[in-house]
Structure 1
Amino acid sequence: MQRVSVPFPEAPARRVVISGLGVTSPIGCTIADFQTSLLEGRSGIGELPGAGDAGPRFGGRIGDFTGHINDFGELPARLRKQLRKSLKVMNRETQLAVAATQSAIRDCGLDESAIDPERTGVSFGAGYVAIQPEDFLHGVEKCRTDEGTADLDRWGEDGLGEVQPLWLLTCLPNMPGCYIAMYNDLQGPNNTITLGDGGATLALAEAAHMIRDDLADLMIVGGCGNNLDSCSLMHVLLDEDLAEGATEPHRILRPFDRDRTGGLPAEGAAAFVLESYESAIRRGATIYGEFLGAGSSAVMEGRTPLRAAAMTNAARAALRSAGCAPENIGHIQAHGLSSRRVDADEAAAIRTIFGEAADHVPVTSAKSYFGNASAGSDAMELAAGLLALRNRKLFPVLNCNHVDADCPINPVRDNDADAGASFLKLSVTPQGQAAAIVIREAA
């Protein structure tokens, strides 16, 4: 079957484009390194420090990001000073988000003096930001009895004073958006979408509508996540299918492959600058892509999530919102978790939407490179799709050597696939909430 190009409908009155991009990921903390890793098939999966019997041995960790001020790139002196003072009260995912955001702001080439603070906002995706048990370690020790147990009746008098006074600010999901707005004096709309794996997709959609509705001129968008800390990892162990068996780290993740055994946890973030098409053209900005539409859905049968139905609904809503048909889509950025159940559900959704064309439309999965970092992976996948679109070159799904019969789709397995002029991005949470977005080249 030959794929044919179908023209897109007329664009809306106020077009919204992505003109800045930044990443802090297990496969690179610059756009160049991130893209090179994808095109060269370079995995970011490695052995986790201190891995034991209770959790996975491998995951997607950013080894060269320590949280030191130098990890945040070139910053104005004022911002560098402010940021250095606040690092000690930032959790890991907030640091990753701020670093990605500052990279995106630099990348978009917008002069700080040209930003209208009241017309510039933040929309960020996040997941469950866990309390860290070590924050309470010294307090619990103060309440320890001779028998080795903790006497919680003594907590108020003996233990509470040992807890860092601002500890609560390290575990709120809206803190990335808060710090990003505060450091950059962004006084416009500000919201956090706490949908985990679909948070960045819907954060971008909300930001685009803010610009379309003339509620903002510029929006900072992104997603961050850290599934490697102890409490978040416990949720992953409860909610997700993790890979089994010991093998070479870079061969573990294999979305849609018949031998896949599960996913792996990760950390990471990506951020974007959104503005009107006219504004980007006027200042000669690099345009990575144009937002067309988005959708979301959740379908339950009792307490059981029907992921295939939810992803189908979300994708159809996104296509409807974009005013286009499946034939318009150049490729699919899949959720691609490497789970036997979730991959099959996603493939079923793609098959339902595209019909026989699912045999031909290219499908890729960036998670095969870095694992699942909740909203962070959602954002990094968007970044991967935008770079593929800009270069018209798709990256392969790692380790998908034998496509599972339960996944009747067309995973990309080499570097020869054309990304086309648009993509559909899919995501779904362990609880079955699905999100989808349509992005195209800005003609």
Structure 2
Amino acid sequence: MKRVVITGQGAISALGDSAVENLVAMREGRNGIGPLEFQDVERLSITIGGQIRGYDPVARFSRQEITLYDKFTQFALIAAEEAVAQSGLVLTERLAAEAGVVLGTAGGGLQTQDENYRQVYEEGKNRVHPFVVPRLMNNAAASHVSMRYNLQGPTFTVATACASSNHAMGQAFNLIRCGTTKVMLTGGSESMLCFGGIKAWEGLRVMSKDGCRPFSANRNGMVQGEGAAVFVFEEYEHARARGADILAEVVGFAMTSDASDIVMPNKEGAKRAIRGALRDAGLGLDSVGYINAHGTGTTANDRTECAAVREVFGAHADSLMISSTKSMHGHLIGGTGAVEMLACVMAVRDGVIAPTINHEEADPECDLDVVPNVAREADVSVALSNAFAFGGLNAVLAVRRI
């Protein structure tokens, strides 16, 4: 089995237009959630989100490209550009044949769907643009990243709701580990902040009207965000041979299904995923110092996740740090695990633990060290990233300092 390392990372979210800006914001405990700005927002009962402010596609893409790219594709391309640049990879024809893309998304081109439903149903138009289908299809972002860098190996999209990015990164990890590829661009992208996207989520009655407060006793729901993060996963010997700056090593991955309920989380499924990732990595419980929690800010998720962590780690749970960066950037749904992986890399590489901001009241059923409100310096060699999705689909990744 090959070793797999991360040699580049890129991101765009409500916290910043690059991975560098996102990491600075996480260190500062900055809140990227605020009033939403788009057509008909006043018709919604939920009017806050982790929206990327001042985003201008014209400043980044040509008119022809914008015709082809939904916003979720644009975000993926922006993040991929930063990741590839940081990695220093030279994608020769030979390497391109052994490189691919796996990205996660839940909604795909939801902005395109929303715009075209308006044209047909509200404005009464009988024709839509001929590129609607290529814009809205879930694999659009992965395909365009592949074309941008001439990556000719395995390229596909994973759509498993809130676990999409973790599942995608897990598949990329396994493709390199088993020798199928040498390099993979992987992560996730999402752009659901439009009238139809928010209106659909309102129906679930899990959204907060005033903020995201994971693990706090006065939490009242999740807050959506948007954006993308993309990483360069690379076979270790290949990265070392070219003198790459290695950010972290990916050492374990596991995925499980609750097989119980379409929306309610299940502690047993979460426990099996966490244990599976540690077993896959060959790590003991006491090796883990930090967990980036799924931490949505809903009562059901937060209590279930804390119970799962406590039961898996036993006495070591009291020594663990566990935080939810969704409190800062919102829940990016299919893209959320990718942005949260930035915090895991920061923990093992820089020794900085991103906080759970907006933590106001302790919840006895979330009695772990949730790193409330202020980032913390700590010596962490192994970090886990949890993702527990609607549909009962769980995916946990383990990364290690190298």
- Taking structure 1 as the reference length, the TM-score comes to 0.85
Q: 1:69-148 to 2 correspondence within 5 Å? A: 70-71=59-60, 85-113=64-92, 116-129=95-108, 130=110, 132-140=113-121
Distance 1:113 1:97 in 2: 22
Structure 2 equivalent of residue 206 of structure 1: 171
Structure 2 equivalent of residue 267 of structure 1: 226
Deviation (angstroms), 1:411: 0.5
Counterpart AA for 2:68:
V
Structure 1 equivalent of residue 5 of structure 2: 17
Counterpart AA for 1:333:
N
Query: In the alignment, is the contact (CA less than 8 A) between 2:72 and 2:189 conserved in 1?
Result: yes
Query: In the alignment, is the contact (CA less than 8 A) between 1:218 and 1:275 conserved in 2?
Result: yes
Query: In the alignment, is the contact (CA less than 8 A) between 1:300 and 1:306 conserved in 2?
Result: no
Which stretch has the larger CA shift, 351-360 or 363-372? 351-360
3-state SS, counterpart of residue 245 of structure 2: coil
Structure 1 residue runs of 5 or longer lacking an equivalent are 1-12, 73-82, 144-158, 247-251
Match of 1:425 among 377, 380, 385: 385
Structure 1 equivalent of residue 52 of structure 2: 62
Distance 1:206 1:15 in 2: 14
3-state SS, counterpart of residue 215 of structure 1: coil
Q: 1:335-354 to 2 correspondence within 5 Å? A: 335-354=294-313
2:305 matched to 1:326?
no
Deviation (angstroms), 1:345: 0.8
Q: 1:96 to 1:315 in 2, by over 3 A?
A: same
Counterpart AA for 2:28:
E
Distance 2:236 2:63 in 1: 35
Counterpart AA for 2:71:
R
Deviation (angstroms), 1:190: 0.9
Structure 1 equivalent of residue 396 of structure 2: 436
Query: In the alignment, is the contact (CA less than 8 A) between 2:290 and 2:320 conserved in 1?
Result: yes
Distance 2:262 2:115 in 1: 34
What per-residue deviation string (whole Å, max 9, x for no partner) do you get for residues 286-318 of structure 1? 211111111111224466644222211111111
Distance 2:44 2:85 in 1: 41
Distance 1:239 1:357 in 2: 35
Q: 1:142-161 to 2 correspondence within 5 Å? A: 160=126
Query: In the alignment, is the contact (CA less than 8 A) between 2:161 and 2:390 conserved in 1?
Result: no
Deviation (angstroms), 1:227: 2.5
Q: 1:279 to 1:84 in 2, by over 3 A?
A: farther
Match of 2:214 among 239, 247, 255: 255
Counterpart AA for 1:349:
A
Structure showing greater Rg? 1
Distance 1:216 1:90 in 2: 27
Report how many residues are paired.
397
Counterpart AA for 2:102:
S
**Cα RMSD for the two superposed structures:** 2.0
Match of 2:128 among 163, 168, 171: 163
Of all paired residues, the percent bearing the same amino acid is: 28
2:26 matched to 1:38?
yes
Structure 2 residue runs of 5 or longer lacking an equivalent are none
Distance 1:196 1:277 in 2: 30
Which stretch has the larger CA shift, 375-384 or 415-424? 415-424
